[in-house]
Amino acid sequence: MEHGNMNLTLKVWKQKNKDAKGKFETYDAKGISPDMSFLEMFDVVNEKLISDGKEPVAFDHDCREGICGMCSMYINGRPHGPKGGVTTCQLHMRSFKDGDTIVVEPWRSAAFPVIKDLAVDRSSFDRIMAAGGFVSVNTGNAKDANNILIPKYDADTAFDAAACIGCGACVAACKNSSAMLFVSAKVSQLSLLPQGQIEKQDRVLNMVKQMDEEGFGNCTNTGACEAECPKSISLENIARMNREYTGASFTQNKV
């Protein structure tokens, strides 16, 4: 073993598809540099498996820069692993010790069926977003941005909500597999801004309806979602969405 490198044992969930019965398989990860990301470590393991004529571990990834949210894994019982505020691709192997055993699983939610191994189908999130519809925009002459006055608090809060990357860690962390943090972040980023006002009521009603139809659980405010969110999306968004949903429901029933 090179100086400073680590030898690790991986217990990885292997599952052929959503209908198959899965199980843990044990793999050796040898000569792993502490400067590697968690995904780079898996690349090394998969290269060895392929060279040995064995099937590699399937996992999702795209940007590897903490932006796309695709690298979602449950690592030693926590979404995205032991570090707060980072995605799996930003987690470095120096967060572990030589000789460690690392248990890796996919998201566990009926609304996120397993595609294969650690990769899950999160198209339920896409359908929730689609249910939100469009934003009406006046397509006449472009206005100067300074003509649309937005209080700084609203702009900052909307920006914080918009930081959500839709990775699903909130669902994975929740004992009820609730998607409330994700949906409330997407509702908030538009409802806080003047551009999102026209469809405001329809948007929250339709997105919550779609969320329920996808089979996500209910929110019981344990706060696990905020604690495990790599972008630290606030629970305040859930309270905001509940207020908006109640108001929209009342208005709709009144009409």
Q: Structure tokens of 176?
A: 């009820």
Domains and CATH numbers, the chain: 6-115 (3.10.20.30), 123-254 (1.10.1060.10)
Listed in sequence order, the residues at least 6 apart from 251 whose beta carbon sits closer than 8 Å to its beta carbon are 201
Residue 51 parent element (H or E): helix 38-51
Whole-number pLDDT of residue 78: 97
Q: What is the per-residue burial (b if ≥16 Cβ within 10 Å, else e) of 82-102? A: ebeebbbbbbbbebbeeeeeb
Instruction: With beta carbons less than 8 A apart as the criterion, state whether 89 and 37 touch.
Output: yes
How many residues make up the chain in this entry? 255
Instruction: With beta carbons less than 8 A apart as the criterion, state whether 89 and 61 touch.
Output: yes
Instruction: State how far Cα 146 lies from the chain centre.
Output: 34
SS (H, E, C) 161-221: HHCCCCCCHHHHHCCCCECHHHHHHHHHHHHCCHHHCCCHHHHHHHHHHHHHHCCCECCCC
Q: What are phi and psi of 32, to 5 degrees?
A: -85, 125
Could you list the pLDDT tens digit for every one of the 255 residues in the chain? 456 899 999 999 999 999 999 999 999 999 999 999 999 999 999 999 999 999 999 999 999 999 999 999 999 999 999 999 999 999 999 999 999 999 999 999 999 999 999 999 999 999 999 999 988 877 777 777 677 888 999 999 999 999 999 999 999 999 999 999 999 999 999 999 988 999 999 999 999 999 999 999 999 999 999 999 999 999 999 999 999 999 999 987 765
Whole-number pLDDT of residue 192: 94
Whole-number pLDDT of residue 2: 53
Query: Residue 195: left if φ>0, alpha if ψ -120 to 50, beta else—which one?
Result: alpha
